[in-house]
Chain A
Amino acid sequence: NAGVTQTPKFQVLKTGQSMTLQCAQDMNHEYMSWYRQDPGMGLRLIHYSVGAGITDQGEVPNGYNVSRSTTEDFPLRLLSAAPSQTSVYFCASTKSGLYEQYFGPGTRLTVT
């Protein structure tokens, strides 16, 4: 099992560019989430999904889109990157809210 994988590991974008952060898991988990973490701060939930075809907003959804067409994949799209989106992005998956979450290694994004 690869667990939760994220690509890319690092990315630099210019303001206004768009991109997709990829997240995949091979554990057949229904529940997947995207978080961002800024220096010295806790994890903030961006979007989450409780199953294929179902997504919902978290605490900080503005500027991001998600879709969940398969159980395995949960990509995060930045529509028009802004310097305020410079952060470390973590994807996580779990069977449900009652179980432990497994995190990917993170994507470090810088927007200039």
Chain B
Amino acid sequence: RKEVEQDPGPFNVPEGATVAFNCTYSNSASQSFFWYRQDCRKEPKLLMSVYSSGNEDGRFTAQLNRASQYISLLIRDSKLSDSATYLCVVNGEDDKIIFGKGTRLHILP
């Protein structure tokens, strides 16, 4: 099993729809989880941290399921500007930082 796995997409979603991505991780001892956003040819930027109790930031909701070892990102009322690649990040053994390959999202007008 890969350390961090994401569906590469692309997800083609009409504007205003709700879309959700999952990311699975293999190390049950992982403690830190993040979602990053990367626009084309730009550096990744933190979208949100993922807390055990789940957390929400405006239209974005992140959740952690430790039993099944995955995190999720839900985007409500999607905007054209949400089109990007979403990267899942998990800390692995010895504090290593592990990035998923990313999920591409296209919001369609």
A interface residues, Cβ below 8 angstroms from B: 31, 33, 35, 41-43, 45, 48, 50, 88, 90, 94, 96-101, 103-106
Contacts and interface: CB of A to CB of B under 8 A. Distances in A.
Contacts of B32: 97-99
Contact of B91 (A48, A97, A106): A97
Contact of A106 (B43, B49, B99): B43
5 tightest CB-CB pairs across the interface, nearest first?
Answer: A97-B95, A42-B101, A103-B43, A97-B91, A98-B32
B31 A42 contact: no
Interface residues of B, number: 22
B54 interface: no
A46 B42 CA distance: 18
Interface of B: 31-32, 34, 41-46, 49, 87, 89, 91-92, 94-97, 99-102
Contacts of A101: 44, 46, 89, 97
Contact of A42 (B34, B46, B87): B87
A98 B96 CA distance: 9
A98 B95 contact: yes
A97 B96 contact: yes
A38 to B, nearest CB: 11
14 contacts: A31-B95, A42-B102, A88-B41, A96-B95, A97-B91, A97-B96, A97-B97, A98-B32, A98-B95, A100-B34, A101-B89, A103-B43, A105-B43, A106-B42
